Amino acid sequence: MGPKGSPSGETRALEPGVMVVVPTFNEQHNVATLVGRTFAALPDAQIVIVDDNSPDGTAATIRRLQADEPRLHLIERSEKQGLGSALIDGLQLGLERGATMLVTMDADLSHDPSALPELLAAARSHDLVVGSRYVPGGEIPRWNAFRRALSRGGNAYQHAMLRLGVKDATSGYRAYSATILRRLDLPGPHLEGFGFQIEMVRRVKAAGGTVTEVPISFTEREHGESKIDRKTILEALWHVTRWGWSERAFRKR
Ligand SMILES: Nc1nc2c(ncn2[C@@H]2O[C@H](COP(=O)(O)OP(=O)(O)OP(=O)(O)O)[C@@H](O)[C@H]2O)c(=O)[nH]1
Ligand SMILES: [Mg+2]
pLDDT, tens only, 55-85 = 999 999 999 999 999 999 999 999 999 999 9
Element (H, E) at 76: strand 72-77
Q: In one letter, which amino acid is 202?
A: R
pLDDT given at position 11: 42
* pLDDT band, residue 93 (cuts 50/70/90): very high
Distance, CA 249 to ligand 1 centroid (Å)?
34
Of 1-5, 50-54, 105-109, 125-129, the poorest mean pLDDT is in 1-5
Please, what's the largest Cα pairwise distance for the chain? 60
Q: Is the CB of 80 under 6 A from ligand 1?
A: yes
Quick check: CB of 27 below 6 Å from ligand 1? yes
Q: Is 50 in the pocket of ligand 1 (CB under 6 A)?
A: yes
- Residue ranges making up the domain that contains 231: 5-252
- DSSP class of residue 219 equals P
Q: Which of 106, 133, 232 to mutate to test the pocket of ligand 1 (most atoms within 8 A of CB)?
A: 106
Give which of 198, 186, 220 is closest to 88, Cα–Cα.
186
Q: Is the pLDDT of residue 14 over 50?
A: no
Domain count, the chain: 1
If you average pLDDT over residues 196-215, what whole number do you get? 97
C-alpha pair distances (Å), 5 with each of 1, 81, 82, 93, 192: 7, 11, 14, 11, 17
pLDDT higher than threshold 70 for residue 15: no
pLDDT in tens, 107-126: 999 999 999 999 999 999 99
> 69 CA distance to ligand 2 centroid (A)?
25
CA dihedral 111→115→121→126, nearest 10 degrees, is: -30
Separation CA 32–CA 72 (nearest Å)? 11
Which atom of ligand 1 is found nearest the CA of 172? 12
Mean pLDDT on 191-220: 95
| Cα 182 to Cα 94: distance, rounded to the nearest angstrom | 11
Residue 4 has pLDDT above 70, yes or no: no
| CATH number where 29 lies | 3.90.550.10
Q: What is the mean pLDDT of residues 216-234?
A: 85
